[in-house]
Amino acid sequence: MTKAELLGLTWDCIDISPTSIELGQASIFVEKELQRVNREAMADLDGKDIMFKFPPTFASTHTALVLKTPKTKTSVRKVFLPKTVAEMLVQRKADIEELKDLFGDEFVDFNLVFCSSNGKPIEGQVINRAFNKLIEEKGLPKVVFHSLRHSSITYKLKLNGGDMKSVQGDSGHAQVKMVADVYSHIIDDDRRLNAERMEAAFYSGRQATPEPVQPAATESSADDKELLLKLLQNPEMAALLKSLAKTL
């Protein structure tokens, strides 16, 4: 999901019921995104594609924060969630209920999944600051928030053996070319590693270090499950997601 899609996500578009989680059917329906738009341009378009307009913080502002339909039809999609992510959203919902009790009438409920402590929408720059702070505190490699989306595409392609159409369905890209470009880089990396293994095995007289990536499609499904489990149990990945949720 894009940053705008995450910030525009509402609870009515999420299925995290206990039954859905147990059956592996927990999901998100992506149908809108959070954007700041020019008021005059919005008036000229007669509110086209605008699903909801948030009350302005300042009356004199020339822009408005809105929930709008995505740019392309393929952006409207259903994304299935790993059980761990679904359970994190369950906890997020519980945290918001606590905030409602704490703030009382001060809490403005727009039904947003990712909101400020008083319920109001969060804009992209707030996420960027929280993300950069988290990276610095955890000593993680410096990347931009959008890199998470690229990493998600990369991991899914590795895990499913290059099924580009299913990954495109999750990412919402209008064209499969972008996903194909990512996959071509994965193939190039694998080919480069093959050369390193050949060097180690035949010319250096030593064993090549196995690469911790997805096994070939012909290997056992048990190996696939083991790899997926290792990815989900990666402590840095878990710390990143949990800490980011707490900063919102």
Residue 150 and residue 56 in one domain: no
What residue numbers bound the domain in which 171 lies? 143-202
Domain count along the chain: 2
pLDDT tens per residue, range 3-36: 899 999 999 999 999 999 999 999 999 899 999 9
Q: Where are the alpha helices (DSSP H) in the chain?
A: 3-7, 18-22, 39-44, 83-103, 124-138, 146-159, 164-171, 177-198, 221-232, 235-247
Whole-number pLDDT of residue 131? 86
Gap between the Cα atoms of 4 and 135, Å rounded: 21
What is the reported pTM? 0.65
Residue 161 and residue 114 in one domain: no
One-letter amino acid at 67 equals: L
Burial call 203-237: b when 16+ CB within 10 Å, e when fewer = eeeeeeeeeeebeeeeeeeeebeebeeeeeeeeeb
Q: What is the CATH number of the domain that holds 64?
A: 1.10.443.10
Residue 98 lies in a domain: yes
Q: Which of 91, 121, 151 is the last residue of a domain?
A: 121
Residue 99 and residue 7 in one domain: yes
pLDDT tens per residue, range 167-221: 666 566 656 666 666 656 666 676 677 777 777 877 775 554 555 555 444 444 4
Residue 103 and residue 156 in one domain: no
Residue 75 and residue 18 in one domain: yes
